Every structure is written in structure tokens, then in C-alpha cells.
Amino acid sequence: MAGSRLSVALDDGGLELPAVGRLAIFAPDADFDLSALAQDQLEIVQSFHPDHASYNARGYSCVTECGTDYAASLVCLPRSKRQARALIASAEAATPNGILIVDGQKVSGVESVLREMRVRVPIAGTISKSHGKLFWFKVDGCCFSDWAQPGMTVNSDGFLTVPGIFSADAVDPASALLATHLPPKLGRVVADLGAGWGYLATQILTRESVEAVHLIEAEQMALDCSRRNVEDPRAFFHWADGTSWRPSYAVDTVVMNPPFHVGRRGDPALGQSFIATAAAILGNSGHLWMVANRHLPYETALNSLFVKVEEPFGTSKFKVLHAQRPSRLKR
Ligand SMILES: C[S@@+](CC[C@H](N)C(=O)[O-])C[C@H]1O[C@@H](n2cnc3c(N)ncnc32)[C@H](O)[C@@H]1O
């Protein structure tokens, strides 16, 4: 869908891309349509592991942080406005005298981004299609340097975060609820699936009996924050996809507040895959502790993959779930 705006712009919308030089694509979803561009000219800038891995597997050149001197850059707008602004500032700085293209859905605020940018730079063209917009301009100096990300800042609970990652401003209330209901003993080896900037890991590490906590997180910016928030020799950091992470050692306890969005779509299948990972990596007497929004349908997956499942605590909004003993035979 979004790619078709790009094709229209290139076919007869007046967008002309340089024939030589590298083209950077900032933060494209795995299914973003790049077929209108020459693959060998492209550099994918993607810090979210599953999307990064998907492009890598298809032979694209991929980085997690942008380079310099691109001939053109295309920014795929994320949902977070602060993150969108930061990407535009980075793309502009990395594309001196080149073409900067911005593409986004209406729900990502592309129209207000266009309005704000229009007062600073002459927009050369716009394409409106499929509930979104694509527009572009010739970079001339740094007109958006004030949008650049300040780096990590301390949030209201005293942790380091960057804009755009989950619960950047403060501890997530569901995670705080889970932390309150974790038992004093969690075993020796614990995995924090979808660890974010590290809040749950800090709570797990208050237990002296814990010898190792593995933080598994797909978003590199969040994982980088967790490295600073969880400065403990028992912490191990993995930039990985929680749906497919399989360590070579057994884990005693999994703790998680699983993600339930894929891009902009709510998708309980993601949380269900995390439950399957927990069941696969836990030892025979392992425990899973998780929290979820009350409406999310996780019980069927839990009951099919664990011998015992209970809800030790809940509110009208959230449920804390405890599952014990993966039922290997049922898988
Ligand atoms: C609901 S948040 C919880 C974050 C953190 N545990 C906390 O309590 O603040 C879910 C986290 O999972 C991460 N995530 C999303 N998809 C993932 C995947 N496929 N593999 C690993 N982590 C993922 C998100 O980036 C986000 O940090």
C-alpha cells in the first residue's frame, strides 16, 4: 500500500531519484513495498530485529544506525511523533544536498508532519493515496536539526529512555502490577521476554538467588537503554526476536509483559507466540509469570502449553497470570 505511493511518485508524480549514490530507507516495516527501487542501491536502516532480519534474509544491505552522505533518503513514519521527528532530523543530516522523502499513514500523523515541515522547506511534491501521504523535498542545510533526538534522558521514575520506545515516560502500570506480584524466589536463570528498557529485569534482580537474567528485546534502542538501567553482572542482553529466541540452556522462570501490537495493528498472536517461546525454553518444572490487558485472549494458549494455569491477581484492566510446568507432550 505505502509502496504504491512511492511507485506513483516515481512513475508520474515528478519524483526523480539520483541514478548513483546510496538510498537510505529509514524504519520500513518488513512488508513495505520497495519494488520500485534498485535493491543494490538501497541501505535499510532498521533497529527492530524482526524487520531487520527479514530484509537481511532477502539480501538487502541493512544497518541499525544510519550512515552519511546518502543521495536520497526515505523516512517511513512511525507512530511516535517524537521518534518521527528524530528520524527526519537524522535523515536530513545524512542526506546533504540529496532528496528527502517522507511516507506515512494518516494514523501516523503524516498530515500534521507535512504541515509542520512545509513552513520550513519548499515541498517539491506530494502524493495522497491509500489513507496516507508521501512527499519530498531537496535538502538544503539542516532545517530540522532541532528535531534531533537528545539521546537518552531520565524519565519520571529515574530510568534512562529514548522517545518512541515502549513506556518511555514512566514505568508501565501493568509491569508495575506484575512486579508487585512476583514471588520472592524466581530460580537461578530468568528470562525477561520483550524486556524494553529493563524495568522488569531491575525488579527480578532484587532477588539474590537469581544468578542470571536474560533480557530479550527486539528494539535495539530499548535494549541500549536497558544496558544502562540494568548495570548488574548477572544481566545478559540479547537483541533478538522473542517469538523465535531459543537458548542452549534451560530457563527456570520467564517474566514478561508481552507486546500486543505488530506495527499499528493490535495482534494477540504476538503474545501467544511469546507464550509458546516461554513453554519451549522453560525446564520441566519452570514457571511463567506474565501480565496482560484483561481483554487479551491468552488463556487458551497457556492451557494448551502448561499443566497448571492460574490468575493470582487481577483488576478490571489487567490480569497477572502464572503458568507452571510446560506440558511437552501436548506440543
Ligand atoms: C509491553 S512492552 C514491555 C516492555 C518491558 N518489559 C516493560 O515492562 O516495560 C513489550 C516489549 O516487547 C518488545 N517487542 C515487540 N516485539 C518483539 C519481538 N518480536 N521480540 C522481542 N521483543 C519484542 C517491544 O519493543 C517492547 O519493548
Are residues 142 and 15 located together in one domain of the fold?
A: yes
Instruction: Note the pTM of the prediction, 2 decimals.
Output: 0.94
Cα(57) to ligand 1 centroid in Å equals 22
Distance CA 175, CA 291 (A): 7
pLDDT at position 331 is 45
Beta strands across the sheet bearing 42-45: 61-63, 42-45, 23-26, 72-76, 99-105, 132-138, 125-129
* Ligand 1 midpoint to CA 8 (Å): 35
Are 64 and 198 contained in the same domain? Answer: no
The last residue of a domain, from among 92, 121, 147:
147
Condensed to tens digits (0 to 9), the pLDDT of residues 299-325 reads 999 999 999 999 999 999 999 999 999
Distance between CA atoms of residues 210 and 197, nearest Å: 19
* Total of domains in the chain: 2
> What pLDDT score does 261 carry?
73
- CA 271 to ligand 1 centroid distance, Å: 10
User: Which residue numbers in the chain have pLDDT < 50?
Assistant: 1-2, 330-331
Q: Are residues 91 and 207 in the same domain?
A: no
Its domain, for residue 84, covers 2-147
The C-alpha atoms of residue 24 and residue 171 are separated, in whole angstroms, by 34
Q: Which of 112, 129, 147 is the last residue of a domain?
A: 147
Residue nearest to atom 6 of ligand 1 (CA): 195
Distance of alpha carbon 66 from the chain centroid: 17
Copy the grid coordinates of residue 86: 528524530
Question: What is the per-residue pLDDT for 263?
Answer: 59
> 285 and 140 in one domain?
no
For ligand 1, residues with CB inside 6 Å are 50, 166-167, 172, 175, 194-196, 199-200, 216-219, 222, 241-243, 257, 259
Q: Which residues are within 8 A (CB) of 44 and not within 5 positions of it... i.e. 6 or more apart?
A: 24, 25, 28, 52, 55, 60, 61, 62, 63
Query: What is the Å distance from ligand 1's center to 203 Cα?
Result: 16
